[in-house]
Amino acid sequence: MSKNFKELFLGTTYPLERSSILNAEEFRKNGILYHSKRDPRREAARQLLGLEQDGEFLILLGSGLGYILAEAKNQYKEILLIEPDADVLQYLLQNDNLKELENIISIYHPENSAQDDLEDILLWLQGKNVQKIRILPFRPAFNALPDLYIPLQKQLLALLERRSVNQATIVKFQDIWNRNILLNLPQLVTCSAYEELTNHLQVDHVVIAGAGPSLADSIPELQKYRQKFLLAAADTALIPLVKNQIFPDVVFAADPQWINHFFAYSRFTDKSVWVVDPVVSPGLLHNISHAVIVNWDNAFRLYTIFSDIFGLRGEIRHGGSVSTNAFDFATKIATKKILLVGQDFAFSGGQAHVKGAALESLLFANCNRFITAENHNYRQMSALPKLAVDSIVKTDQRIFSNAKLKIIQDWFERRSGETSSAEILNCTARGARLKNWRHSTLNDELQSVEAKVNLNFTELKNSQISEERKIQEAALIKKLQVLREELLELVNHCKRVLLKGNLHDLESKLRHLPLAKDIASLGAQSQILKITEQGAQVEPTAFVIALKKSAENVALMLKKTLGALHSPA
């Protein structure tokens, strides 16, 4: 076991003695027979016929005593068995007939995992096309021990759904992320470091405002107690807040899409400190150019290439929403209470965002007989399968969410016991109930608070125009010029490789252009993922073509960046 399954099998505490299971055909749990007394192998073969036949990988949620494993070995390249039953697992480990399967089967016992959401099997999923994975629940075990197997099935489906969402995000946004980092470099070189902001602040109460539909219900309380807390808001919530004369102290932005720059269409953007990811839309940075801007470190290779110029600016955790960034920020400053509002994690009232949010306003502006707001919200709610979650308002009521919102909800639920110095509460008026969180209202938590919050960000403003920034800008210009020359050389070499058809020449050239290779290959990453994770069929030269196109695009963006820095290209 330690040799063949060491990455996934975490070790059992059960003694490997002679099993008490003497007659496999009469094995029962809670009175339920696990296998046919007549022909358990034929029964297993019929169970496999119920699956789609084009699958390459199989996940078994329970296997009984191994008959399905024996039948599946010739049909699937790899098999993962998730077995929570210690008795069955012990029998399988001692069964000599299963030794012939050791090259294709991996066994995972969830009781020995530190995680409770099956994330340990991500290693097994790596490099496999999710569309080619088949799942077979062992029904007798599900009927005999539902409390043991049904939660595992839900966790597995949620994990695969989350993986699919993440892969789709990478394929969709990889090019945008890279482009935005390059086009944002002139602004990033003048930004303050995220660590400077977190080290600068000390307040008793932090309110984190999301842009869920229920934010509108919290507006009166936010207005009433505004002077008693630091307000950290998602960029989506900015316009609804300032329309009600509520000005956030800090606004977080991380989304790369161009349409998100509408979130900063306000003449009051300079009243807040903006904390941004380097991948945000360049249009958003343009709209907030008069504000104090802070950015955090980004793990993308394209950003780390320039990290020696920028220096370390501070790390932040991500959970699928800028509200998770804001929460992480709140845990890093000295505070007593962290209060959430507008965090619905559900389609409260059939809406995706609070009324008055920028995208909602644009939607209404574009409505006509054929395109209505109701249709738009319906498409958002039906794009992914609906999930029922517990409601804040009525504990016996279920409301609808989806897999994308559930990822964010799960992230917050895992943070419930994380902060020892600050008490965390969910003061959202409507939406999904957070497990292990105390739910309250802003009125109950703030009415007896007397202290006023006085914030001064002068130091951050001064740091953005220091002499150090000018030195960094000069170093950035020099590095960009070198990179552009390398990329143009790579483009020319890719053309020669495609013309001659000799792919081996490319490998030797890439060794001499390491940074150009890293930058250009990032642009081709979406195609690599389509091939390795989604099973797309492409020509052998497809990667060279993608690399050439990526290098051309990045070289063009570097020319624009150098122009913005007032340097000849």
pLDDT at 152: 86
pLDDT grade for 198, boundaries at 50, 70 and 90 = confident
Per-residue tokens: 491 = 């483009």
φ, ψ of residue 138 in degrees (nearest 5): -85, 100
Percentage of the chain modeled with pLDDT above 70? 80
What are the pLDDT digits (tens) for 266-284?
A: 899 999 999 999 999 999 9
Q: Are 162 and 403 in contact (CB under 8 A)?
A: yes
Q: Are 70 and 48 in contact (CB under 8 A)?
A: no
What are the pLDDT digits (tens) for 2-25?
A: 444 444 444 444 444 445 555 666
What are the pLDDT digits (tens) for 103-125?
A: 667 777 676 444 456 777 777 88
pLDDT at 74: 82
Instruction: Average the pLDDT over each of 280-294, 448-462, 546-560 and give the range with the smallest value.
Output: 448-462
Which candidate, 100, 103, 48, 36, places its Cα nearest to that of 72?
48
Angle at CA of residue 301, ends 190 and 233, nearest 5°: 55
Per-residue tokens: 98 = 């299963």
- Residue type at 568? P
Distance CA 514, CA 182 (A): 18
* Higher per-residue pLDDT: 208 or 498: 208
pLDDT grade for 444, boundaries at 50, 70 and 90 = very high
- Residue 417 clears pLDDT 80, i.e. is over it: no
Mean pLDDT of the region 382-396: 74
Distance CA 203, CA 455 (A): 9
pLDDT at 415: 83
Q: How many helices (H) and strands (E) does the chain have?
A: 23, 17
Mean pLDDT of the region 39-46: 88
Instruction: Average the pLDDT over each of 31-40, 394-403, 429-438 and give the range with the smallest value.
Output: 394-403
- Residue 335 clears pLDDT 50, i.e. is over it: yes
Q: Residues with Cβ < 8 Å from 552, sequence gap 6 or more?
A: 487, 491
Average predicted confidence (pLDDT) for the chain: 81
Which candidate, 246, 458, 451, places its Cα nearest to that of 335?
451
How many Cα atoms are found within 13 Å in the side-chain-facing hemisphere of 347?
A: 22
Distance CA 529, CA 264 (A): 33
CATH, range 24-144:
3.40.50
pLDDT at 531: 62
Q: Are 183 and 206 in contact (CB under 8 A)?
A: no
Task: State whether CATH 4.10.780 applies to domain 177-346+404-463.
Answer: no
- Residue 320 clears pLDDT 70, i.e. is over it: yes
Report if pTM > 0.85: no
pLDDT at 13: 43
Sign of CA dihedral 538, 541, 544, 545: negative
pLDDT at 279: 92
DSSP 398-415: EEEEEHHHHHHHHHHHHT
Per-residue tokens: 192 = 């303050």
pLDDT at 238: 94
The DSSP element (H or E) to which 293 belongs, if any, is: strand 292-295
Distance of CA 298 to the CA centre of its chain: 14
3-state secondary structure 120-184: HHHHHHCCCCHHHEEEEECHHHHHHCHHHHHHHHHHHHHHHHHHHHHHHHHHHHHHHHHHHHHHH
Mean pLDDT of the region 30-37: 87
- Residue 241 clears pLDDT 80, i.e. is over it: yes
The DSSP element (H or E) to which 274 belongs, if any, is: strand 273-276
3-state secondary structure 503-552: CHHHHHHHHHCHHHHHHHHHHCHHHHHHHHCCCCCCCCCHHHHHHHHHHH
- Residue type at 134? R
What are the pLDDT digits (tens) for 476-524?
A: 999 999 999 999 998 998 888 888 877 777 777 888 888 888 777 776 6
Mean pLDDT of the region 374-397: 70
Mean pLDDT of the region 328-335: 88
- Residue 534 clears pLDDT 70, i.e. is over it: no
Angle at CA of residue 527, ends 523 and 530, nearest 5°: 145
Sign of CA dihedral 449, 452, 453, 459: negative
* Higher per-residue pLDDT: 253 or 528: 253
- If you ran DSSP here, which 8-state letter would residue 391 be given? B
Per-residue tokens: 79 = 């098999």
How many other CB atoms are there within 10 angstroms of residue 443's CB atom?
Answer: 13
Instruction: Specify the residue for token string 């003061």.
Output: 427
Distance CA 520, CA 438 (A): 48
pLDDT grade for 383, boundaries at 50, 70 and 90 = low
Instruction: Average the pLDDT over each of 76-80, 161-165, 333-337, 408-412 and give the range with the smallest value.
Output: 161-165
Per-residue tokens: 269 = 């953007």
Per-residue tokens: 20 = 């008490």
Distance CA 82, CA 107 (A): 6
Q: Are 322 and 253 in contact (CB under 8 A)?
A: yes
DSSP 212-234: STTHHHHHHHHHHTGGGSEEEEE
- Residue 249 clears pLDDT 90, i.e. is over it: yes
pLDDT at 507: 77
Mean pLDDT of the region 26-37: 86
Mean pLDDT of the region 152-180: 76
- Residue 81 clears pLDDT 80, i.e. is over it: yes
- Residue type at 59? I
pLDDT at 386: 74
Distance of CA 548 to the CA centre of its chain: 29
